[in-house]
């Protein structure tokens, strides 16, 4: 039997971090996969585009596709906004994607009860900016003070939070990207690529509920729960098993 080629795994980080947050997963997949974990625009070492003030999930998916280049099909693994970008890439350019692992996708549009919290978060951002400047909004985000716009961000380890020179601009560019993402239930029900949706035993309730709703609508998907912690950082071995499972689906 010919030796199986390692998987290519493209990892897309959440708002407020960099590609480094995937280091534990890359280590867990060593020998099984080639992991590509870029810094998305404005985070880490990636420059923000000139005049970067707003982005969309589709635009982020375009950046991801360029990163993948001619490496062939990949399992695309994303967290937070990165999970929604991974899903968009699988819908828009399925020829690039073997399947996806979606870590706590913040699709709060599934949850009518999130509307009031989103409005409250917007008010918190405006107040922070008015009192202390735009950088204060990034501080509030990473401190977990935006339960809807930054669901789960307070769980990001302090040494993984990014406060680089373009981070504040990137935050503001991304805040409205997921709420503005528009894919109908019919489009999700017609998805052709396998997806595992990962939450943890202590995922924030809004994220857990939205993951359940996504699994209900998204074709070829299944919901999985890891032990407590950030699935892609604290539970990297468990998440690695999900990545390999997706890769095996089409082996």
Residues 99/90, Cβ–Cβ less than 8 Å: yes
pLDDT tens over the chain, length 251 residues: 345 678 999 999 999 999 999 999 999 999 889 999 999 999 999 999 999 999 999 999 999 999 998 888 999 999 999 999 999 999 999 999 999 999 999 999 999 999 999 999 999 999 999 999 999 999 999 999 999 999 999 999 999 999 999 999 999 999 999 999 999 999 999 999 999 999 999 999 999 999 999 999 999 999 999 999 999 999 999 999 999 999 987 65
Write down the architecture of domain 7-249 according to CATH.
Answer: 3-Layer(aba) Sandwich (3.40)
Domain map (residue ranges) of the chain = 7-249
């Amino acid at each position: 039997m010919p030796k199986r080629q390692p998987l290519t795994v493209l990892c897309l980080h959440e708002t407020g971090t960099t590609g480094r947050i995937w280091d534990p997963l890359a280590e867990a997949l060593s020998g099984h996969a080639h992991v590509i974990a870029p810094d998305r625009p404005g985070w880490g070492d990636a420059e923000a585009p000139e005049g970067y003030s707003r982005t969309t999930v589709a635009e982020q998916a375009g950046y991801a596709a360029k990163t993948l280049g001619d490496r062939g099909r990949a399992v695309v693994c994303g967290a937070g906004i990165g999970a929604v970008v991974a899903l968009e890439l699988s819908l828009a350019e399925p020829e690039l994607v073997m399947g996806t692992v979606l870590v706590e996708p913040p699709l709060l549009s599934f949850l009518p009860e999130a509307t009031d919290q989103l409005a409250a978060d917007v008010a918190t951002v405006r107040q922070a900016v008015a009192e202390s400047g735009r950088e204060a909004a990034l501080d509030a985000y990473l401190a977990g003070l935006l339960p809807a716009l930054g669901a789960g961000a307070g769980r990001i380890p302090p040494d993984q939070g990014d406060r680089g020179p373009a981070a504040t601009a990137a935050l503001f560019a991304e805040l409205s990207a997921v709420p503005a993402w528009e894919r109908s239930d019919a489009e999700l029900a017609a998805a052709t690529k396998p997806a595992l949706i990962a939450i943890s035993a202590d995922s924030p309730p809004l994220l857990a509920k939205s993951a359940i709703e996504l699994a209900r609508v998204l074709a070829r998907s299944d919901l999985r729960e890891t032990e407590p912690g950030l699935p892609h950082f604290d539970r990297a071995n468990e998440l690695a098993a999900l990545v390999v499972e997706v890769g095996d689906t089409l082996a």
